[in-house]
């Protein structure tokens, strides 16, 4: 899945936006409010900003460097100590968004020790205030970053769980569809195919009896031959349909067809011949370009032709005339 990688890229981009906004705020603070008094203060402030800007790739190293820079700035008596402490806290927040465990604990401990070293002269008399400052500088960004990371991880887990549930539901649906197709195939084979096979056998017996009794009426023979051929064709189609339903790949929707792509003209010719045997007069101009139809559309045309000619035979009776026109036309794209 591409979800985690996309989310990680978004987090890095958003982190860069946060750091850039903070840098703009700190630059405005240095230029308009605090205004460092000398080159040393400006250099320390610039170093803190640069370290804050590189947290996207080297956040752990940036936090360790900022902790050392905080101690150096306090030792040199710089006026930017509080600003550097804010930048270090923001870097710790970014680290808490990305890391957990020993690395995060080591980085937080390093920053806490840097704050404690800067207040070392106040110990042990001001122990509680020093601990409070350490908690504010380290505990608040650590807690906020951990909470945001936990919320983000929970959302990612919920999204992954939803995707897995959707996949399971889809698989259950496909399994149910496959089971239904198997049931239909079994019923077709056990019921319909059995009766059609019986019809073919009985027609064969009837032809044998008429031949044995010397009652070979041409009309009766023609009807029996047509019935035998129709039943045999129906049995062949049923067996092909059962084979399609029992195919190995049954995970998708049924897309099988009894009309092979490219064989539609021959199938339509067979339909016309069968209709003519029932007494119809059929004119059937068929566009040769219909061979370009896919199997599903070809089956639809085949079924329409069968139904239409069957309706003419049923309602028009013997001697009726029917015209079947099949043309292929490309619809212009808009």
Q: Which of 55, 88, 118 delimits the end of a domain? A: 118
pLDDT band at 63 (very low <50, low <70, confident <90, very high): confident
Task: Kindly give the residue spans of alpha helices, DSSP state H, lying in the chain.
Answer: 3-29, 39-53, 55-75, 81-98, 102-118, 127-134, 140-187, 193-212, 218-245, 264-277, 295-316
50 assigned to some structural domain = yes
Q: Is the dihedral of CA 53, 55, 58, 59 positive or negative?
A: positive
DSSP class of 248: S
3-state SS class at 188: helix
pTM of the shown model: 0.47
DSSP class of 258: S
Give the Cα separation of 159 and 161 in Å (integer). 5
Task: Kindly give the residue spans of alpha helices, DSSP state H, lying in 76-123.
Answer: 81-98, 102-118
- The residue with greater pLDDT, 127 or 325, is 325
Whether residues 211 and 111 share a domain: the answer is no
> Could you identify the residue written with the tokens 């040199």?
76
82 assigned to some structural domain = yes
pLDDT band at 181 (very low <50, low <70, confident <90, very high): confident
Percent of the chain with pLDDT over 70: 80
134-151, pLDDT tens digit by residue? 878 888 888 888 888 888
Rg (CA), the chain: 42
Task: Give pLDDT, residue 6.
Answer: 45
291 assigned to some structural domain = yes
Whether residues 101 and 16 share a domain: the answer is yes
Reported residue count of the chain is 334
Yes or no: say if 84 and 47 are a contact pair by the CB < 8 Å rule: no
Whether residues 201 and 105 share a domain: the answer is no
Q: Which two tokens stand for residue 53?
A: 């800007």
Q: Which two tokens stand for residue 117?
A: 């070293």
3-state SS class at 282: strand
Give the Cα separation of 258 and 44 in Å (integer). 82
User: Phi and psi dihedrals of 282, rounded to 5?
Assistant: -120, 130
Q: Which two tokens stand for residue 67?
A: 């902790």
19-60, pLDDT tens digit by residue? 677 667 767 766 666 666 677 777 877 777 777 777 666 777
Residue 161, classified by CB atoms within 10 Å of its CB into exposed (0-12), middle (13-18) or buried (19+), is exposed
Whether residues 7 and 109 share a domain: the answer is yes
149 assigned to some structural domain = no
pLDDT band at 2 (very low <50, low <70, confident <90, very high): very low
Task: Give pLDDT, residue 44.
Answer: 77
Whether residues 180 and 271 share a domain: the answer is no
Neighbours of 26 (CB within 10 A): 21
256 assigned to some structural domain = no
Whether residues 234 and 293 share a domain: the answer is no
Q: Which of 245, 273, 305 delimits the end of a domain? A: 245
Please give the C-alpha separations between residue 158 and each of 54, 161, 262, in angstroms, as whole numbers. Answer: 32, 5, 50
202-248, pLDDT tens digit by residue? 777 777 777 777 766 777 777 777 777 777 777 777 777 777 777 65
7 alpha carbon, distance to own chain's centre: 17
Task: Give pLDDT, residue 107.
Answer: 82
Whether residues 63 and 99 share a domain: the answer is yes
Whether residues 217 and 278 share a domain: the answer is no
Half-sphere exposure of 55 (CA within 13 A, CB side): 34
Whether residues 32 and 92 share a domain: the answer is yes
332 assigned to some structural domain = no
109-118, pLDDT tens digit by residue? 888 888 887 7
Give the Cα separation of 149 and 227 in Å (integer). 76
Which domain range does residue 302 map to?
264-323
151 assigned to some structural domain = no
Q: Which of 214, 245, 276 delimits the end of a domain? A: 245
Give the Cα separation of 202 and 198 in Å (integer). 6
141 assigned to some structural domain = no
Whether residues 9 and 98 share a domain: the answer is yes
Q: How many domains does the chain have?
A: 3
3-state SS class at 33: helix
Give the Cα separation of 318 and 155 in Å (integer). 73
């Amino acid at each position: 899945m591409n979800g985690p990688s996309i989310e990680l890229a978004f987090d890095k981009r958003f982190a860069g936006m946060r750091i850039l906004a903070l840098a703009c705020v700190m630059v405005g603070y240095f230029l308009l409010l605090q205004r460092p008094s000398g080159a040393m203060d400006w250099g320390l402030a610039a170093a803190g900003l640069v370290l804050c800007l590189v947290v996207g790739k080297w956040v752990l190293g940036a936090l360790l460097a900022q902790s050392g820079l905080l101690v150096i700035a306090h030792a040199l008596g710089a006026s930017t100590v509080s600003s550097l402490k804010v930048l270090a806290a923001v870097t710790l927040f970014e680290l808490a968004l990305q890391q957990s465990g020993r690395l995060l604990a080591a980085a937080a401990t390093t920053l806490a020790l840097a704050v404690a070293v800067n207040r070392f002269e106040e110990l042990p008399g001001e122990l509680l205030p020093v601990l409070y400052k350490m908690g504010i500088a380290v505990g608040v960004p650590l807690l906020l970053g951990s909470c945001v990371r936990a919320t983000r991880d929970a959302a990612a887990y919920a999204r992954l769980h939803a995707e897995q549930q959707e996949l399971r539901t889809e698989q259950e649906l496909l399994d149910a569809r496959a089971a239904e197709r198997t049931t239909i195939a079994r019923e077709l084979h056990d019921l319909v195919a059995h009766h059609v096979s019986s019809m073919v056998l009985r027609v064969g017996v009837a032809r044998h009896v008429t031949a044995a009794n010397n009652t070979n009426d041409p009309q009766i023979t023609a009807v029996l031959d047509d019935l035998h051929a129709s039943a045999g064709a129906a049995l062949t189609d049923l067996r092909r349909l059962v084979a399609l339903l029992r195919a190995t790949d049954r995970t998708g929707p049924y897309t099988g067809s009894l009309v092979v792509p490219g064989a539609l003209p021959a199938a339509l010719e067979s339909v016309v011949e069968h209709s003519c045997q029932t007494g119809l007069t059929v004119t059937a101009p068929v566009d040769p370009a219909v061979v370009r139809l896919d199997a599903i559309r070809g089956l639809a045309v085949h079924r329409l032709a069968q139904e239409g000619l069957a309706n003419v035979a049923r309602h028009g009776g013997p001697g009726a005339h029917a015209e079947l026109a099949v043309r292929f036309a490309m619809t212009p794209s808009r």
